Amino acid sequence: MILPEMDDARAYRAIPSDPDAVEEDDTSRCRWGPNPRHLVATLSLLVVEWLLICWVVHLGEAPRYYLIFASMYAFAMGVVILVNRSNPGFVPKDTDLELYRREALPATTVELNHTRFVQRWCVSCRMYKRPRVKHCYECRRCVSRFDHHCPWMSNCIGANNYKLFLLFWQHYLGLQIYSLYFIGQCISAKSADTDVSLLGAAVRSVASEHPLLVCILVVTCIRLLLAGCVFAAHGYLVCRNMTHYEYRSQPYKGNNPFDLGRCGLHRENVAIGLYQNLRAFVLLPWIDFSRD
């Protein structure tokens, strides 16, 4: 390993603690993660959404849609629980403890993709943090390919559950599009049943009779916009082979060293670089239930 320069140590505040320090106590943590109330709130909001769309189904007199929406919301809640129960990519503790006891280095450096990385000593996990590894103070563990900590799913999003996290947002986006389409169909059918000939007046008539339906329509549009923005943002990050944490903190000087379209062998061919970035995403695991 390469010794870090003094500037690196200052910049990263790499001040190690006693290698024999006692580990953080994880026994007090809830089995549902560090934010169980947020998780309950997420599942509760999904249930409320389902109940409201069931009211729209009842209003539209389309009973076959009860099962369709029940299945879609059950799938969404199931994915949330899977993300919560998954191992996001926890790095084993004490992997570098013997090295630290022997060398007592505050940090080490490695070179990867022509970029020099400072590997800081993690006091809690007692290891040198590899590139793309970050310690989460909510989960009290170092996470590989750390994207962000999601309190609403009460878990970190990392290498082992990022695809599952994106699956939720993809499904939720499709669910909002389908809900908006069905609500529009319901309003159209109710407008046709009125005695008003003008379309605008008919819609206003339906809105005056069913104000809750209009409220559900507006809220669905807001949820659709939110889900679309989140999914589009992560789609951009996938195409750049970048995590949300890397995008927000900009830890690299110059281009992202993991973007194979800009810093890899294919930087002169954007299409091949994009393909390699997408391939890196596809090769990520779907889920890991181990907790060690």
CA–CA dist 118, 250 (Å, integer) = 14
Task: Specify the residue for token string 């008003």.
Answer: 196
pLDDT at 110: 82
Between strands 127-128 and 115-122, the pairing is antiparallel
pLDDT at 268: 59
pLDDT at 191: 74
pLDDT at 193: 62
Task: Specify the residue for token string 């006693």.
Answer: 18
CA–CA dist 140, 34 (Å, integer) = 9
pLDDT at 104: 77
| Residues marked as catalytic | 150
- The residue ranges of the chain whose pLDDT is under 70 are 1-29, 193-203, 262-269, 291-292
Backbone angles phi, psi at 122, to 5 degrees: -90, 115
pLDDT at 271: 80
Q: What's the predicted TM-score (pTM) here?
A: 0.84
Percentage with pLDDT > 70 across the chain: 82
What is the full DSSP assignment across the chain? -BPPPHHHHHHTT-----TTPPPP--TTS-TT-S-HHHHHHHHHHHHHHHHHHHHHHHHHT-THHHHHHHHHHHHHHHHHHHHHHS---BPPTTTTHHHHHHH--SEEEEEETTEEEEEEEETTTTEEPPTTEEEETTTTEEEET--EEETTTTEEE-TTTHHHHHHHHHHHHHHHHHHHHHHHHHHHHHHHTSS--SHHHHHHHHHHH-HHHHHHHHHHHHHHHHHHHHHHHHHHHHHHT--HHHHHH--SSSS-TT-TTTTSTTTT-HHHHHHHHHHHHHTS-S------
Domain boundaries, the chain: 28-282
pLDDT at 43: 98
Q: Write out pLDDT tens, residues 203-221.
A: 677 777 888 888 999 999 9
